[in-house]
Amino acid sequence: MKARVRILDVYSGRYTVFINENDAKNAKLHPDDLVRIEAGKKTVYGSVAISGVVGEGEIGVSRDVLGLHNFSEGEIVNVMPSGIPESVRYIKKKMHGEKLRKVEIEAIVKDIVDRKLRDIEISSFVTSLEINGLDMDEIAALTVAMAETGDMLDIDRKPIMDVHSIGGVPGNKTNILVVPIVAAAGLTIPKTSSRAITSAAGTADVVEVFADVSFSLDEIKRIVEKIGACLVWGGALNLAPADDITIKSERALSIDPTGLMLASIMSKKYAMGSQYVLIDIPTGKGVKVETVDQARALARDFIELGKRLGQYVEVAVTYGGQPIGHTVGPALEAREALSTLMTGKGPGSLIEKATGLAGILLEMGGAAPSGMGKKMAREILESGKAWEKMREIIEEQGGNPDIKPEEIPIGDKTYTFTASTSGYVTAIDNRAVTGIAKAAGAPEDKGAGIELHVKVGEKVKEGDPLFTVHAESEARLDQAIVLARRTEPIRIEGMVLQRIGNI
């Protein structure tokens, strides 16, 4: 049928088009059917919503559909049922545990990017990968397909370094220190980051507190070729666009399939032209990878995938048994990271991990002799050179380079939990900490999160503060308090753990 475009000030997040009930009945269209919209030589796909907000002969176009094509108000377009794409059959094949061929994977990725697959079908694909996995042939094919369906960046400054943490540890603002340290040593490190998937704050969520993170490829190229670094959100770019679509399903399902994680990370590195890639795999109870053996197996996968892509990959297996630093949540982490860069001093766990990772990159890129990278990284941090480089990054990304950490607003609705007994902190539950910070509103509410007053191994007395929850609303604070009381994220025990008498 032919229809007049009516632009609606609605963001559905599902690429929805709105059709009048009578038009839908005549065209045999039903809610959530996929339709093809032809405008000249351009074809766009959308999911049907039947609504009285549009009249007969009109098609209401949501703001997210406008991101696919810049329709004009009143423009005449052809609207017709799309039918089920062939890629759905390939998704069912993977649901049954069968191996996918390269062409089948390419078809799925292309249909994801073209929005020919609806959310339910994308979620089915993600779930099938969580249950049945991918072998290395499939992962390599998926990685290249995800990269080549988007834009590719070509930066003149070489060599190009990159670092990525697979996440899972609360408070992991490490790369906000690593990037300026490495760039201050003269290496090039264009860092793209995702927003939080299962955590309370991704690197992009934290940086967005004090600088812009959404840039075009041309803008990133200009920034990086000028100062050697950036800290930006990959989702604002057309880099491996299928990744940003599948992440929505992963976030909704709270899963992160290993094969998809590998492809997600490495497709962005491939698209950015990264030559030397360092992967950080935090390991410990309550994170994605709980044992060193699992970490080593995953490391081998990253290294093998890098070889297939023509990249040199090293992996750092890092301690992930408790949160990094003392803060969890975008604004709180931004304060802590900037304060550490500004003074060269900060939480031992944050500085130790950041200089360790930066040191490996300095050695990989030839800026430091073998075995001397960490020492050099620490000198760059303590000398103030890393802070000067961060000020350049902030300024180039539209922020205030003279920002003071204490000027960053944090949630003013607070509640502090105290120790109910004296003893030693024997464990901090990563999952519980993340859950509480998310219940408080993080990462969407930038000021929400948790401030930890103790770490594992520290001695506490009854009544000492353990952690403070920050929220931007009383309702969110109440939710976080209820969850914290139920999960008890910090365990305190005396030196005598158990008394056993005569049996």
Please state the domain extents for the chain. Answer: 2-81, 86-133, 161-241+258-405, 413-493
The string of pLDDT tens digits covering residues 305-343 is: 999 999 999 999 999 999 999 999 999 999 999 999 999
Q: Residue 123 has which token pair?
A: 């979620």
Phi, psi (deg, nearest 5) at residue 390 = -65, -35
Answer yes or no: is pLDDT of 255 > 90: no
Three-class SS of residue 126? helix
Give pLDDT, residue 503.
59
Q: What are the angstrom distances between the C-alpha of 493 and each of 421, 425, 430, 457, 462?
A: 8, 7, 18, 10, 11
CATH number of the 413-493 domain? 3.90.1170.30
Please state, in angstroms and rounded to a whole number, the distance separating the CA atoms of residues 58 and 53.
10
Task: Please tell me the distance from the alpha carbon of residue 15 to that of residue 37, in angstroms, as a whole number.
Answer: 12
Q: Using the Cα atoms of residue 175, residue 176, residue 182 and residue 188 in order, give the sign of their dihedral.
A: positive
Task: Please check the confidence at residue 477 and state whether its pLDDT lies above 70.
Answer: yes
Q: What is the pLDDT of residue 195?
A: 81
How far out from the chain centre does Cα 503 lie?
54
Q: Exposure pattern of 311-325 as b/e (b: 16+ CB <10 Å)?
A: bebbbbbbebbbbbb
Averaged pLDDT for residues 204-221:
95
Classified as helix, coil or strand, 281 is strand
416 is in an annotated binding site: no
Residue 118, marked binder = no
195 is in an annotated binding site: yes
Return the CATH number of the domain spanning residue range 86-133: 1.20.970.10
DSSP 298-361: HHHHHHHHHHHHT-EEEEEEEE-SS-SSSEESHHHHHHHHHHHHHHS---HHHHHHHHHHHHHH
Q: From CA 118, how far away is CA 127, in angstroms rounded?
A: 14
* Active-site residue set: 256
Residue 80 pLDDT greater than 60, yes or no: yes
199 is in an annotated binding site: yes
**Tens-place pLDDT, residues 15-26:** 899 999 999 999
pLDDT per residue as tens digits for the range 437-476: 999 999 999 999 999 999 999 999 999 999 999 999 999 9
Residue 138's contacts (CB-CB under 8 Å, 6 or more residues apart) are 99, 100, 105, 259
Across the strands, what pairs with 493? 424
Say whether 55 counts as a known binding-site residue: no
Q: At 38, phi and psi to the nearest 5? A: -105, 120
The pLDDT value recorded for residue 498 is: 58
198 marked as binding residue: yes
For the residues 42-48, what does the mean pLDDT come to? 93
* pLDDT for residue 81 is more than 60: yes
Q: Is 254 annotated as a binding residue?
A: no
Identify residue 210 by its one-letter amino acid code.
Answer: F
- pLDDT-based confidence at 247, cuts 50/70/90? confident
Share of the chain above pLDDT 70, in %: 99
- Residues near 4 by Cβ (< 8 Å), separated by ≥ 6? 57, 58, 59, 74, 75, 76
Q: Specify the higher pLDDT residue, 325 or 198.
A: 325
Share of the chain above pLDDT 90, in %: 85
CA 356/CA 319 separation, integer angstroms: 12
Burial status of residue 89 (CB atoms within 10 A of its CB: 0-12, 13-18, 19 or more): exposed
Residue 234: the pLDDT is 82
**Contact indicator for 165, 295 with CB cutoff of 8 Å:** no
CA 439 from centre of chain: 18
Class in CATH terms, 2-81: mainly beta
Measured in Å, how far apart are the chain's first and last C-alpha atoms?
84
Look at residue 495 and tell me whether its pLDDT is greater than 90.
no
Residues across the chain: 503
CA distance 393 to 190: 11
What confidence score (pLDDT) does residue 352 get? 97
Q: Mean of the pLDDT values across residues 188-201?
A: 87
Q: Is 87 annotated as a binding residue?
A: no
Q: Which CATH class is domain 161-241+258-405?
A: alpha beta
Q: Range with the lowest mean pLDDT among 2-6, 137-141, 382-386, 496-500? A: 496-500
Gap between the Cα atoms of 446 and 454, Å rounded = 23
d(CA 345, CA 329): 20
Residue-wise pLDDT tens digits, 375-433: 999 999 999 999 999 999 999 999 999 999 999 999 999 999 999 999 999 999 999 99
Residue 221 in marked binding region: no
pLDDT in tens, 278-304: 999 999 987 889 999 999 999 999 999
Query: Is 434 annotated for ligand binding?
Result: no
Phi, psi of 89 (to 5 degrees): -65, -35
Average pLDDT, the chain: 94
488 has a pLDDT exceeding 70: yes
Helices (H), 185-291: 203-207, 217-227, 241-253, 258-271
Q: Is the pLDDT of residue 497 over 60?
A: no
